[in-house]
């Protein structure tokens, strides 16, 4: 099966689906005008993206920003029924590309994960992220070469 997908900036109309995924599968408590307004008012340069199929069904989301001297991929969630199809890699690639192109964001990226999230750990290892001893903090220094390597690993 060939998938036609699109990554776009999240809109308020996406709130219910994002919240449904977030409450089940992430550390994001609730997304909406208050959450988005709070993050942007803290100066976190927050970006919120969704990945959707050709039927405009949201398959997952990611949010990223900056904290101190690092860029942070705060959450990446792919609905479990769509995992294993490279959508997480595609979404991470898109986030990394946006971070690299945005001169206000640091090329030093951090992702925090749960200790038991082995699928995410394997994905991050495959994308050249380096973890701490507990596999909870993952780091990557972004470059064009890193993006090319990630892009070449994407297969649909």
pLDDT tens, N- to C-terminus, the chain (156 residues): 557 899 998 888 888 888 888 777 775 444 444 454 444 434 445 688 999 999 999 999 998 888 788 888 888 889 989 988 889 999 999 999 988 888 888 899 988 888 888 888 888 898 889 999 888 888 999 888 888 888 888 875
Q: Where are the alpha helices (DSSP H) in the chain?
A: 15-25, 33-41, 87-101, 118-126, 144-152
Domains of the chain: 5-152 (3.40.630.30)
Tokens of 138: 């993952």
* pLDDT at res. 46: 67
Please report, to the nearest 10 degrees, the dihedral formed by the alpha carbons of residues 136, 137, 140, 146 taken in order: 20
* pLDDT at res. 116: 83
């Amino acid at each position: 099966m060939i998938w036609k997908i699109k990554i776009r900036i999240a809109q308020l109309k996406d709130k219910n689906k994002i919240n449904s995924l977030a409450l089940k599968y992430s550390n994001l408590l609730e997304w909406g005008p208050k959450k988005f307004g709070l993050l942007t008012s803290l100066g976190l340069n927050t970006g919120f993206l969704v990945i959707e199929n050709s039927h405009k069904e949201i398959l997952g989301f990611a949010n990223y920003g900056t904290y101190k001297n690092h860029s942070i991929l705060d959450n990446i969630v792919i609905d479990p029924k769509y995992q294993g199809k490279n959508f997480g890699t595609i979404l991470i690639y898109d986030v990394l590309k946006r971070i690299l192109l945005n001169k206000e964001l640091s090329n030093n990226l951090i992702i925090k994960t749960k200790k038991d999230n082995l699928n995410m750990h394997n994905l991050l290892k495959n994308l050249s992220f380096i973890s701490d001893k507990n596999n909870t903090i993952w780091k990557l220094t972004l470059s064009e070469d890193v993006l090319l390597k990630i892009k070449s690993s994407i297969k649909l």
